[in-house]
Amino acid sequence: MYNLSHHKEKNEMVVKEFIDQHPFAFLTGSDSENKPVATQVPVFIEEIDNRKVLRGHIMKNTDHHKAFLNNENVLVVFSGNHTYVSATWYSNPYMASTWNYMSVHAKGIIRFLGDDELENVLRMTSLHFENYDRQSTTSYDNLPVEFKQRVMGAIVAFEVEVKEIDTVFKLSQDRDYESYLNIIKKLKEQREDGQVIAAEMEKRIFEVFPDKKVKA
């Protein structure tokens, strides 16, 4: 991955919050012939016995399910908002433009869980996305038994024990102060992605420029 120290997020709580806010992740690995496989699923991070664990569920007998049964090494990628940054916004505009974005990569070992754990994962998933409304008709505990039995036969829960987490929070940390402020100004004029990145950059002004006391 893009590996520059000034684009790393070192605060573990910020990384966890990012994962919590962007749970729809790429789950990737390779099969017995070293061909890449991938799927996209909602994944949740937990701390169990001082281990970081990602939990979710996938459909059985897919290419990725078969691959993960054969090769337990996986990469889970969480992506956030991203936006184009024009070099015309820099104090020196005669250079290449770029892209600002935030991403978390978690490498780990996947294992598949039993039906009890599957129920817990489905319950957690439905409650999370239904804003913890236990009265919602689509929350796991309110679904008809026949429907749950039919669906659960086709899916399986998994757990990824995280062995390594890496980050790229590329937010113009390598630009000068004047350029940094102007990038924020220009991004605030963009659509949602640009505005979100601008807000993230604003939060980090004094971290990037500790000698500055004037807010953007």
Q: pLDDT tens-digit profile of 150-192?
A: 999 999 999 999 999 999 999 999 999 999 999 999 999 999 9
211 is a domain residue: no
Which residues are paired to 167 by β-bridges?
104
The sheet with strand 51-59 has its strands ordered as 36-42, 24-30, 73-85, 98-112, 155-170, 51-59, 44-48
209 is a domain residue: no
Nearest 10 degrees: Cα torsion 146, 148, 153, 159: -170
132 is a domain residue: yes
Confidence of residue 214 (pLDDT cuts 50, 70, 90): low
213 is a domain residue: no
214 is a domain residue: no
Q: What is the mean pLDDT of the chain?
A: 95
210 is a domain residue: no
Structural domain total, the chain = 1
The stretch 46-63 carries a mean pLDDT of 94
195 is a domain residue: yes
Confidence of residue 83 (pLDDT cuts 50, 70, 90): very high
What is the pTM for the complete model shown? 0.91
**Full domain range(s) for residue 64:** 5-204
CATH of the domain at 163: 2.30.110.10
Backbone dihedral angles phi then psi of residue 108, each to the nearest 5 degrees: -170, -170
Does residue 216 carry a pLDDT above 60? no
216 is a domain residue: no
